[in-house]
A and B are shown apart, each in its own frame.
Chain A
Amino acid sequence: DAMVIQNPRYQVTQFGKPVTLSCSQTLNHNVMYWYQQKSSQAPKLLFHYYDKDFNNEADTPDNFQSRRPNTSFCFLDIRSPGLGDAAMYLCATSPGHSYNEQFFGPGTRLTVL
């Protein structure tokens, strides 16, 4: 089945140790998104790609970077994780036209020790 896949599902890292989260999609969608979601809060958009065009939200910390090497894959790099970066990280995709339903992966739960 076409889907959005995130790896790993659970990631534990140490304070300040870089970490990379991955997302892949078989939907062939143009747009990919990274969200951060903390407990009992709505998802917060970090970045999105429309094809290769990168769009950074104004309040996304510089500590967060992203790469999209091809249509299918997108990576979230956290260069120096702090305790406040512990959260669920959600990847989503959408076709990128007017019928723009977003499809989400299962998320990666990041713990920072």
Chain B
Amino acid sequence: KQEVTQIPAALSVPEGENLVLNCSFTDSAIYNLQWFRQDPGKGLTSLLLIQSSQREQTSGRLNASLDKSSGRSTLYIAASQPGDSATYLCAASDSNYQLIWGAGTKLIIKP
């Protein structure tokens, strides 16, 4: 049974720093891995999706990587800003198009 873990549960960094959020999964047989952002009391915004055949995807200041052999994905945020403060969730897609979720990392960027 697939399990997805995100560590740490919370992270606080000063504005301007580059940072990495971690996501690990137990079963490498995934279709893709998706990173989401969630602001308090809001829905989920899809940030990046990495297909199982890909190693990384980039969008603006965000870069997501995928290493299936080690069961890891990372989300790299460059030059962090206070507006990046949110909870970031990763989710692995199985062959039934269902997402297995991590519990999220709550990110706070201090001005």
Contact = CB atoms under 8 A, between A and B. Distances in A.
B81 to A, nearest CB: 23
Contact of B42 (A41, A102, A106): A106
B14 to A, nearest CB: 24
B102 A42 contact: yes
Interface in A72-113: 88, 90, 92, 94, 96, 98-107, 109
Contacts of B51: 98-99
Majority-rule SS of B interface residues:
strand
A98 B101 contact: no
A101 B51 CA distance: 10
Contact of B43 (A42, A45, A101, A107): A107
B99 A105 contact: no
Interface in B46-98: 46, 49, 51, 89, 91, 93, 97-98
B111 interface: no
B31 A98 contact: yes
Given A100-B32, A102-B34, 6 more contacts: A48-B98, A88-B43, A90-B44, A102-B46, A106-B42, A107-B42
Interface of A: 6, 31, 41-43, 45, 48, 50, 88, 90, 92, 94, 96, 98-107, 109
